[in-house]
Amino acid sequence: MEKITLLILYFCIAVSAQNLKLGFDFEIGTIRISYPGGKGILSVSQLPLSGHLNLCYNVIEYFSIQGKIGRSIVTEFLGCEYGINGKYKFYKPLYIGCGYLIHSNKGDYYSNQLVVATTTINIIQLGIGVDIFDFLSIGLDYYVPTSKKVIVWRGLFEKQPQTFESMIRLGFNFGWDL
């Protein structure tokens, strides 16, 4: 009971000190792949979007930790995502970030030329961003997988694997103090 009381008091202090932010983000991106015979950009059936619900905790004035859970919305890279990242404000409106994202690719058979693989991809994130307003920031993130995974099989007669190499996303992050 004492631990629960202390936890509630700690949470109240953190909230009253406005160290917590709740928000969401929208990201648009591009995915680099490798395939037998070369490398390129993953051709997708629709605009590669993703959205997340974010909870951010400001540890100190210049450093914050953010947890997020969401979903990517593109047929070839469809699935749930969750991750954690840290942001360091090195110059008042500018920040750099580093984090870890787990993407669970939801595989399916879409046509005789496209098969999407079911796989889980662990991804390291590096980024830079700028705080536009107190509630809005824009960031550019580069994602690299910890291991290469096939995400798509393409081809009419002989399916060629397309392996996830990297990803770049432009994100619009909204967050409000709790």
- pLDDT tens-digit series, residues 76-124: 788 899 999 999 999 889 999 999 999 988 876 666 566 777 788 999 9
Q: Is residue 9 part of a domain?
A: no
The CA distances from residue 10 to 5, 14, 65, 82, 152, in Å, are 9, 6, 17, 25, 46
Residue 28 is predicted with a pLDDT of 92
Burial of 173 (0-12, 13-18, 19+ CB in 10 A): buried
Q: Is residue 13 part of a domain?
A: no
Least trusted range by pLDDT, from 24-28, 42-46, 57-61, 126-130 = 42-46
Give the residue-averaged pLDDT of 52-74.
91
Q: Is residue 132 part of a domain?
A: yes
The count of structural domains within the chain is 1
pTM for this predicted structure: 0.82
Distance CA(135)–CA(12), nearest Å, equals: 22
Residue 112 is predicted with a pLDDT of 59
- Tell me the CATH number at 56: 2.40.160.20
Task: Please check whether residue 174 is in contact with residue 136, taking contact to mean a CB–CB distance below 8 angstroms.
Answer: yes
Which range, 37-51, 83-97, 149-163, has the best average confidence (pLDDT)? 83-97
Q: Is residue 2 part of a domain?
A: no
Distance CA(81)–CA(51), nearest Å, equals: 9
Q: Which domain holds residue 67?
A: 20-177
Distance CA(131)–CA(121), nearest Å, equals: 29
In terms of DSSP H, where are the helices of the chain?
2-16
Q: Is residue 138 part of a domain?
A: yes
Distance CA(102)–CA(80), nearest Å, equals: 8
Q: How confident is the model at residue 18 (pLDDT cuts 50, 70, 90)?
A: low
Q: What percent of the chain has pLDDT over 70?
A: 82
